[in-house]
Amino acid sequence: MAKQNGGNAGKKGPSGRSYRNATGLTRQPKKMRGRKVSSQRWLTRQLNDPFVAEAKSRGFRSRAALKLEQIDDRYNLLKPGMAVVDLGCAPGGWMQVVSMRTKLGQGTARLVGIDLLETEGVVGADIFAGDVTDPQMLTAVETAIGGAADGVLSDMAADTTGHRPTDHLRTTALLEAALDFALGILNEDGFFLAKCFRGGAEKTVLDVMQQNFATVRHVKPAASRSESVESYVLATGFHGRNRTAMQEIDS
């Protein structure tokens, strides 16, 4: 299990520079009048988040791209020529990282994404607008990737309600759907990386992963906010399609 870091002070991103605020002051958005308190907090946090600035300066569509970079730097998941599926791909930050690290367009690499939202194109990738719980949409994704994938990514999270147990259960349901898809499409020794909110309900899903992968671990990259319950589960070394336990969860 990865060590969880506290705060952004002193952290370093892919560029190697420190993220400590040089002034020690909190910057405030210019236009706050009329906005809800929650919106004001979000805007202030975004303005002062060094990872948001890092992502923007490097042309990434979201700070989430840095999370995938940090995970891949540590575990060396993405390799040239791989076939990768990105579930819940909008706005496309993860696809940008995958495209670069698999050298999409320069060889055999393939990349397919799907999201409820329209996603700006990534050169060489196939992107579908649809529901990952829709079997017809997933069949289209499977066809586009060529019937098998070396990695399945999922940064999906349900819309939050503010009630943590409910949010946890809803995001765990998306984790189950992503894992079920991965079990049916991964090549031998493939990997599965997905967002999860740790809280107990995901234990049965983790049990299924442990039956089908050589190694299962929780990871929390530095670009994830320390105060967030967000974490990622990484399963590597896929060795079989044991869907029985997954079907028991669904029944």
155-196 residue pLDDT tens: 998 776 777 777 778 888 899 999 999 999 999 999 999 998
Name the token pair of 16. 């190697």
What CA–CA distance (Å, rounded) separates 90 from 94?
9
113-138 residue pLDDT tens: 999 999 999 999 999 999 999 999 99
Contact of 154 with 174, CB cutoff 8 Å:
yes
35-46 residue pLDDT tens: 554 444 434 454
* 3-state helix, strand and coil shares in percent for the chain, rounded to the nearest 5: 35, 20, 45
**Taking the model in full, what pTM does it have?**
0.76
β partners of residue 112: 85, 126
**Residues carrying an active site annotation:** 195
Name the token pair of 246. 């997954």
| Structural domains of the chain, ranges and CATH numbers in brackets | 62-250 (3.40.50.150)
